[in-house]
Amino acid sequence: MLKENFIRYLEVERRFSPRTVRLYEEAVTAFYAFLEEPAATPELMTTQNVRSYVAYGLDTGHSARTMNLHLSALSTWAQWLLRQGLLESNPVRKVPRPKQEKRLPQFYTEKAVNNYFDESRRRVEENPDDFRLLRNRMILLVLYATGMRRAELCGLRISDFDSGRQLFRVLGKGDKLREIPVPALICQEILLYLEKLGEAYPDNPQQMFFLTDKGAPLYLAFVDNVVRRELSGVEGFTGKKSPHVLRHSLATHLLNRGADLSSIKEILGHSSLAATQVYTHNSFEQLKKTYLTAHPRAKNGGNNGN
């Protein structure tokens, strides 16, 4: 019963996303399974037990990143138990976090992205009666044009697109509403898509912006599959093919083209600038190119001024 109340706390008071709630629940369950204790007993939340759990996780092949996520979940669990008067202190705070390698976000080149949209436009024009081709292209277009998260895309409704002001209103993490501007040419494509959507699915009671082949609202795995299929075989796309990499790509391309970090932060819906600053690393090649082009000693073999 304790764990069920904790889950409700995460959902109602903390307003965590369903995915985060699931990950936290799995982490707490895994901790007590390691202790071979079926019940979520507060007395077992000790610094030594948490240390042992982290060591076990690392020894059995879990990454430092995964175990740090579990520590965050267990710390939240301990803080909740503390509020209930079932613990005297948070034992997780005394457990050092495993050091994890900093991973730079992957991104696609602008050339690769343009290749995809040119190719998908050709397929749509050659098959005007195949609504799925149009929908799949629009899924990737909206993901890349706005930097939306998968969950935000799945929850998008027709009314969230304001054609007059040329923007999307998006409900992000923590129920934070943000507005994302959309280029005029893409707005035109969106209006044509919405017209075709109404023809293909006249029965759309929730007025969802995207629907599955069966006319149901999108779900996360569906979006993953569409992105993976659409980008497979297109020149320039190697490695992981996912909605999140499209989001990273937009941020990197905006930064390369001179957008400031604060603006990119607002577009992506980051809660802090620190989350956005990681994209500055990805722009090193662009920085290097600009530097070598502009540097007075980089021309004519470095003989300038001699």
Catalytic residue annotation: 149, 173, 244, 247, 270, 279
> Which three-class secondary structure state does DSSP give residue 259?
coil
Separation of alpha carbons 74 and 193, rounded Å: 45
Q: Give residues with Cβ within 8 angstroms of 197, minimum separation 6.
A: 131, 135, 158, 204, 209, 211
Distance, CA of 107 to CA of 4 (rounded, Å)? 39
Q: Residue ranges of the alpha helices (H) in 18-130?
A: 18-34, 47-59, 64-83, 110-126
End-to-end Cα, the chain, rounded Å: 80
CA 23 remoteness from chain centre: 15
In 3D space, the residue among 5, 297, 14, 45 whose CA is nearest the CA of residue 175 turns out to be: 14
- Element containing residue 61 per DSSP (H, E): none
Task: Assign residue 300 a region (left: φ > 0; alpha: ψ between -120 and 50; beta: otherwise).
Answer: left
Backbone angles phi, psi at 161, to 5 degrees: -100, 120
Q: How far apart are CA 78 and CA 89, in angstroms?
A: 8
